[in-house]
Amino acid sequence: MNILVTGGAGFIGSNLVDSLVNEHKVTVLDNLTSGKNVNPKSVLMVGDVRNWRRTGSAMKEIDVVFHLAASVGNKRSIDNPVRDAEVNALGTLNVLEEARKQGVKKVIISSSAGIFGELKTMPIREDHPCEPDSPYGCSKLYEEKIALAYGKLYELEVVCLRYFNVYGPNQRYDGYGNVIPIFVQRKLNGEPLVIYGDGEQTRDFVHVSDVVQANIRAMAKGVTGVFNIASGKSVTINQLAGWISDNVEHTAERPGDVRDSLADISLAVERFGYAPTVNLEMGVKNYIKWAEKYF
């Protein structure tokens, strides 16, 4: 099968490509700004999804598209909402339109739990109200809505996978990024871990290998719709920090951060056999070992 992975040199995308290349012909479309993890068995096309011509060139003779190219993060989107919209909204529209034009069979969209905003009920089901608190959440909700509309209008199977807090190998330190690489970077630098608020806020962390598993399972013919991809378990930030370092400081809460998060993953389990396997405490310890080599 011919597969295109946008953002395939980044954190999640590179892990996905590594799992696909032994069974499929994989093309990677990536501008190499947030990651340069290029699998030598893949075909790299350097480009940006905001450029529809380059996106169209990468789409030729493709059967399935995994769309992971994105501007990621609430704080980044608050600081630069225009870029967030250009990459996430316009970029996704370019991917869908070129997929339609070139007869792609399936597009799998990487969405985010950021679409929900402050939570009203937990665990979070797919039908939870979507009231995002940041431009990032808004742009990801747009991605879902436009993708699902394309699925209704055209002969195109569409899956939207709502990732919760993903962590694991190839996730580099980024001040805008996930709390785990930020904490690990500070630990390796001998600096205190900075927790916003009281640290009793909860998050549902999922290992990148489980996210990869979800994407590959979602390729199955007939699987369409929106699915939560998480571990189905939550942990406080204080507990997470304790697995990494004893040197911790607290500061004021950040705008745009939700208080609690816990996913209901039963729909993905039922529809395509999703089964998260990585224990968070062990996953974090293994990530620290990886970071010691590559940070």
Give every CB contact of residue 145 below 8 A, 6+ residues apart in sequence: none
Backbone φ, ψ for residue 289 (5° rounding) = -60, -40
| Type of residue numbered 236 | T
Q: What is the DSSP string of 145-208?
A: HHHHHHHHHSS-EEEEEEE-EEE-TT----TTS-HHHHHHHHHHTTPPEEEETTS--EE-EEEH
Residue 97: how many other CB atoms lie within 10 Å: 16
Distance CA 219, CA 158 (A): 10
Q: Are 46 and 68 in contact (CB under 8 A)?
A: no
Q: Are 167 and 180 in contact (CB under 8 A)?
A: yes
Greatest CA separation found in the chain? 54
Q: Are 172 and 35 in contact (CB under 8 A)?
A: yes
- 165: number of CA atoms within 13 Å, CB side? 25
Copy the structure tokens of residue 129: 């109200």
Has 196 been annotated as catalytic? Answer: no
The residues assigned a catalytic role are 136
